[in-house]
């Protein structure tokens, strides 16, 4: 499936075979703020078991988002990024819109995303700060850092 957005140069595809896995691995392991040190094996396994969205310009992947979901009740948006030289053109907004409107992600009771500084970006799409009084997690933020 390829969705062409209103900016016709930016296309989004959920075709996993099109993903530039080395680029995704390089970004996550070296430049992300949340997964530095992650191994290629773990990145590949996460991609294999998620609904993945690649954003492309002229066939080159410049953006990525990964959704972990049961396709029925719940989903989590993970690993969203646009590579630095393509930021500021609205591609993240287009990608998030396509993710939340994806036909397989409708009717969910809960859609979550974790962010340290992009709250205002996600609020535009209906995400709200969650409730610390009810949300608990087992979290190992330094897991990939040796």
Ligand X SMILES: CC(C)(COP(=O)(O)OP(=O)(O)OC[C@H]1O[C@@H](n2cnc3c(N)ncnc32)[C@H](O)[C@@H]1OP(=O)(O)O)[C@@H](O)C(=O)NCCC(=O)NCCS
Residue ranges that bind ligand X, judged by CB under 6 A: 80-82, 87-93, 113, 115, 117-118, 120-121
For ligand X, give the closer residue by CB, 17 or 116: 116
For ligand X, give the closer residue by CB, 60 or 87: 87
- Name the CA dihedral angle for 31, 36, 40, 46, rounded to a multiple of 10 degrees: -100
23 CA to centre of own chain: 14
Q: How far is the CB of 89 from ligand X (least distance, A)?
A: 5
For ligand X, give the closer residue by CB, 107 or 142: 142
Contact 122, 115 (CB under 8 A): yes
| Closest to 79 measured CA to CA, from 143, 23, 123 | 23
Q: How far is the CB of 33 from ligand X (least distance, A)?
A: 6
């Amino acid at each position: 499936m390829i969705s062409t957005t209103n900016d016709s140069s930016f296309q989004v595809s959920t075709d996993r075979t099109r993903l530039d896995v080395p680029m995704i691995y390089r970004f996550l392991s070296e430049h992300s703020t949340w997964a530095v040190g992650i191994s290629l094996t773990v990145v590949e396994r996460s991609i294999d078991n998620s609904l993945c969205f690649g954003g492309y310009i002229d066939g080159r992947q410049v953006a990525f988002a990964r959704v972990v979901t049961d396709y029925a009740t719940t989903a989590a948006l993970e690993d969203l990024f646009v590579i630095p030289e393509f930021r500021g053109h609205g591609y993240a907004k287009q990608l998030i819109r396509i993710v939340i409107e994806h036909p397989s992600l409708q009717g969910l009771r809960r859609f979550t995303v974790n962010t340290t500084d992009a709250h205002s970006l996600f609020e535009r799409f209906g995400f709200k700060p969650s409730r610390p009084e009810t949300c608990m997690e087992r979290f190992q933020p330094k897991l990939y850092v040796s």
